[in-house]
Amino acid sequence: MFASVRHSLYSMRDGTQAVKLRRNPDKPLNQDPAKVRRYRVAAGLSITALAVRLGRSKGHMSEIENRERTRSASPELLAAIAAELGCEITDLMPDANGSAA
């Protein structure tokens, strides 16, 4: 597996196995989850509405906003989120010192 990703192996009902990947908490994120949520709420959008506008699943967007099980947004997705929320991409990024707000 990749060094930046942790994984767990699950047995499915049909007897197959699936791997669930979890982000390494030591790897910095492209976005600050709290900032993404604040801008979304300020724009008057639910997480479902934003997901639909972006062509993503609600679960995907939830992972981008949730600090505990966060996935890092690609630069392209972060730019699309910023465009939908009417802000700059840098508004959604962690502070320069790397800490999340």
**pLDDT tens digits, residue range 19-30?**
555 556 667 888
Backbone Cα Rg of the chain? 15
CA distance 64 to 68: 10
Could you tell me the residue range of the domain that residue 33 belongs to?
26-92
Answer whether residue 4 is part of any domain.
no
CA distance 101 to 87: 17
Answer whether residue 46 is part of any domain.
yes
**pLDDT tens digits, residue range 32-80?**
999 999 999 999 999 999 999 999 999 999 989 987 666 788 999 999 9
Confidence at residue 24, expressed as pLDDT on a 0 to 100 scale: 61
What is the count of structural domains for the chain? 1
CATH classification at residue 42: 1.10.260.40
CA angle 34, 19, 61 (to 5 degrees): 25
Q: pTM surpassing 0.75?
A: no
